[in-house]
Structure 1
Amino acid sequence: MHPDPHQIGPYQIVRKLGEGGMGVVYLAQDRDFRPVAVKVLRSGPAADDRFRKRFHREAEAARQVARFCTAPVLDVGMDGGIAYIVTEYVDGPDLASVIETRGPMRGSSLEALAAGVATALAAIHQAGVVHRDLKPSNILLSAVGPRVIDFGIARITESDATRSAVISGTPAYMAPEQANGLPDTPATDVFAWGGVMAYAGAGRPPFGTGPIPQVLYRVVHDAPRLDGLDKRLRPLVAQALDKDPSRRPTAQQLLDRLLGRESATPAIATRVVSGAWTPPPTSPAVPDAAAGNRRVATMAAATGIAVAALLAAGVLIWQPWQPPSNTRPQAGPTTTVTVTATTPTSPEPDRTATTPTSPEPDGTTRARTDTPAPSSSAPDVKVLADADTFTTNASGASVPVSVRIASLTRRGGEVTLQWSITNDSAEDRLDLLVLMKGTSEMDLAGIGLIPAGSSGEPIHPIERSGACVCSQWSSLAEVSPGKTHKFHAIFEVPANVQKADIDLMLLGKFPGIPISGG
């Protein structure tokens, strides 16, 4: 067994997320510090020209899938003797682990799951791709809705010698034609959708479990067992599980019927699913000392709309000062701000460390990037701006925080902003949810740079592959007492701009920050 690598291609490995028959999955960071999932495939040596050609052909097809309710493929590559695929990192448990620990889903949560997975299949099929191995462990439950992963991977890992002789897929969710060795089609994915919904709503696969030959026999010959499944969803699931692929609805027809409208687009469906989605608890309902803290974070994730309303009303208030201009801050309606300034003397060391927190249902741990706050005996560190203020966390506690603008550096046409928040409390945790300002995305897409002296629209962080090139976090992310959380964002800024006002949303504006570098 080879040790886990430190780097794969240009991606820095953080930790292993899991492994299965097709390969090993790692949490990693790309060049812009964005978290990504890197899957290293087990089969197909890079020296095999036929594998290389098939790998690139199939992986490039997967890259064309729109990101609606999927974890999009961001990159593919070869590193020495291994092939790897990079996808967006989805922070959340898989459906299988949630059903195993929490039991079947009901009501609106099940309906949102059904619509979300159907949306993903519609996007996958529109790109001319067939998933081939849709199953509960390939559906991740994020804070904003279900996300389907590993589409097209099964075909990539098949060898040329065995492609026609070996069936691909997971027996409990395979269609009869797959079990008989016939080609995969979009209808096989629809059959798998039916099997997954039966499992999610009743807590068991529709054709049972047991030795593979017995399961496959029931898939081909027996009627599915759907008792216990929500009656409103049961007819559509039964139709999806029809033995005859021609009688199954398409993924688009599933979507239309679930949303009650004609020609529902994946974009519209994704918004509907996100609005109706309630994230599942991330651990079993066992009362213990740690559960109390986790319940607070879970409550914040489950009541995002209410938090957004509080933000709009000014209940969660940040009042920064503006150090470069010697202008005192405007006091907020309910918050008193104490401002202290520091004299920069030495560069700030990089003390970033990944600290595991509460366990996930699958036994892995959620990573939280915290750094120790500087001790009182440590020398001052060089910063462009800093402020001391207070905020209110999800539990209602007033938390003292320090904000630091660490750097604003140009490289070519791009400018990188780095800053941090330190939780100065001795006991209260700081919820990163307060930075969202009513948006559904947990990243820094809303912050902006305004060229000094300009009255125009702010420049927001750039996007690559449809995602913000900036810090991202889960709905449960937090900064522990005495810890620091670092942030970054990359902007396209004209070469003639030498200073910029930084708009950190609820943290306010920091004017006249110089841009260094060339």
Structure 2
Amino acid sequence: MRTLGPLENTDPERIGRYRLIGRLGAGGMGQVFFGRSAAGRAVAVKRIHPHLAADASFRQRFAREVTAARQVSGAFTAPVIDAGPDDEVPWLVTSYVPSLPLDEAVQAYGPLPEASVRVLAAGLAEALVEIHRVGLIHRDLKPGNVLLSEDGPRVIDFGIARATDGTAATQSIIGTPGFMSPEQVQGEHLTPAGDLFAYGAVLAFAASGTGPFGEGNMPTMVMRIISREPDLSAVPESLRHLVAACLSKDPQGRPGPGEILDYLGDVHAGASWLPPAVMTGVQEQVAKVNRALATSAGDPQATGGHQRTEALGAGGLRV
């Protein structure tokens, strides 16, 4: 799990209206903090790296993508709730969802059972309906960007990856080996259908514990994605046809998220949509978030009078 570390001397105490509690990590776009709103809401705050902030074209793309991302309001996303794209160092805030990232959950507890994968399939399809509705393409849908929460999955980091296109700090191909479509790995024009290929790969991973094209370095994965058929032997038979259709080499052959929801029909999630061990892990994250928020508010009952630093999951922004 990602550790909630202490703030460093050079870190601000606040970004916008949000009080920072600790560090969650850093990545290609910026530093991610765990914070709280004025009303005590848990949030993830990403502050863009200064060298990207100095790139005028990046700032324009970032502002445009944030504007679009703030229009996404689906139940199965971790929405962007605030941003400062015009600040000296741009930032954005998403709702923090106490959860386990899918990749970490599968690594710790094994593949998900069929009933859980069906709920996952429906939730991710609903999220893609919302993301595509506002004209966004996720571009990096992968197990690390799928969170498992008490009431269903969440998709995070949608609509932001494209902002780094063309900057010196990023590669020309944005994505994760094994979860990119053939057109993406070949640097071709992307459409929403690319997200559906990644969607199929994520479902295969959830059901089997590995991606449908195995593991390997970028050149190896590119060749497999372009030329090999996916291994779907561990995908439940009731979902294999759907996953195979999503993993079509031809973008035109992939279903849209609305078609997927029609195909799945009503899916009964409920409070026990995850296996007991996974749900316990999620509930532990909920408790840790609550303690961190209480501690930041100066509640000695939360920690017995002592400050605590605990491991928290990504919760809303991956880095």
TM-score (normalizing by structure 2): 0.82
For residues 136-160 of structure 1, what are the alpha-carbon distances to aligned partners after superposition, in whole Å with 9 as ceiling and x for unaligned?
0101111111010000111012235
CA distance in 2, matches of 1:81, 1:70: 28
Which residue in the other structure is 1:201 paired with?
207
Tell me: higher relative CO, structure 1 or 2? Use CA pairs within 8 A at least 6 residues apart.
2
Displacement, 1:19? 3.3
Which of 1 and 2 has greater Rg? 1
Q: Is 2:193–2:254's contact at 8 Å kept on the other side of the alignment?
A: yes
Structure 2 counterpart of 1:244, from 247, 250, 257: 250
Which residue of 92, 110, 113 corresponds with 1:106? 113
Q: Is residue 2:63 matched to residue 1:56?
A: yes
| Residue correspondence of structure 1 range 296-445 to structure 2 within 5 A | 366=289, 368=291, 369=294, 371-372=299-300
Query: C-alpha separation between the residues in 2 aligned to 1:279 and 1:482?
Result: 35
Change (3 A) 1:77 1:97: same
Q: Tell me how far apart the structure 1 counterparts of residues 248 and 305 of structure 2 sit (CA, whole Å).
A: 58
**Cα drift, residue 200 of structure 1:** 0.3
Superposed, 1:136-215 pairs within 5 Å as 136-159=143-166, 166-215=172-221
What is the DSSP-based 3-state SS (H/G/I as helix, E as strand, rest coil) of the residue aligned with 1:232? helix
Aligned AA for 2:300? P
The one of 205, 229, 240 aligned to 2:235:
229
Q: Which amino acid aligns with 1:67?
A: G
> Equivalent residue for 1:388?
none
**Distance in 1, Cα, partners of 2:153 & 2:268:** 8
- Name the one with the larger helix percent: 2
Distance 1:80 1:252 in 2: 38
SS at match of 1:85: strand
Change (3 A) 1:169 1:482: closer
Q: 1:85 aligns with which of 85, 92, 108?
A: 92
Does the 8 Å CA contact 1:94/1:140 hold for their aligned counterparts? Answer: yes
**Letter paired with 1:278:** W
- How far off is 1:243 after superposition? 0.1
Contact 1:195 1:206 in 2 (8 A): yes
Please, what is the CA RMSD of the aligned residues? 2.9
Work out whether residues 46 and 80 of structure 1, in 8 Å CA contact, stay in contact via their aligned partners in 2. no
Query: Where do 5+ consecutive residues of structure 1 fail to align?
Result: 261-271, 284-293, 302-357, 374-478, 484-518
Q: Is the 8 A contact 2:179 2:197 kept in 1?
A: yes
Answer with 215-224 or 20-29: which moved more.
20-29
Distance verdict in 2 for CA 1:159–1:67, change over 3 Å: same
Q: Give the equivalent residue in structure 2 for 1:278.
A: 273
Which structure features the higher share of strand residues? 1
Deviation at 1:51, TM superposition (A): 2.1
Structure 1 position 126 matched with structure 2 position 133: yes
Are the counterparts in 1 of residues 29 and 52 from structure 2 also a CA contact under 8 Å? no
Q: 1:141 to 1:33 in 2, by over 3 A?
A: same
Task: Decide whether the 8 Å contact of 1:116 with 1:273 is kept in 2.
Answer: no
Offset, 1:197: 0.3
Report how far residue 278 of structure 1 moved.
2.2
- Are the aligned partners of 2:132 and 2:192 in contact in 1 as well (CA < 8 Å)? yes
Q: CA deviation at 1:190?
A: 0.2
Offset at 1:276?
Answer: 6.6
Cα drift, residue 209 of structure 1: 0.8
Change (3 A) 1:276 1:113: farther
Counterpart residue identity of residue 243, structure 2: V
Aligned residue in 2 for 1:257? 263
Normalized against structure 1, the TM-score is what? 0.52
> Secondary structure of 1:26's match?
strand
1:207 maps to amino acid:
F
Aligned equivalent of 1:384: none
Distance in structure 2 (CA, Å) of the matches to 1:104 and 1:25: 29
- Secondary structure, aligned partner of 1:174: coil
Percent identity over paired residues:
44
In the TM superposition, residue 44 of structure 1 has moved relative to its aligned partner by 5.6
The superposition leaves residues 199-219 of structure 1 with CA deviations (integer Å, 9 ceiling, x where unpaired) of: 000110111111110011101
Which amino acid in the other structure matches residue 128 of structure 1? G
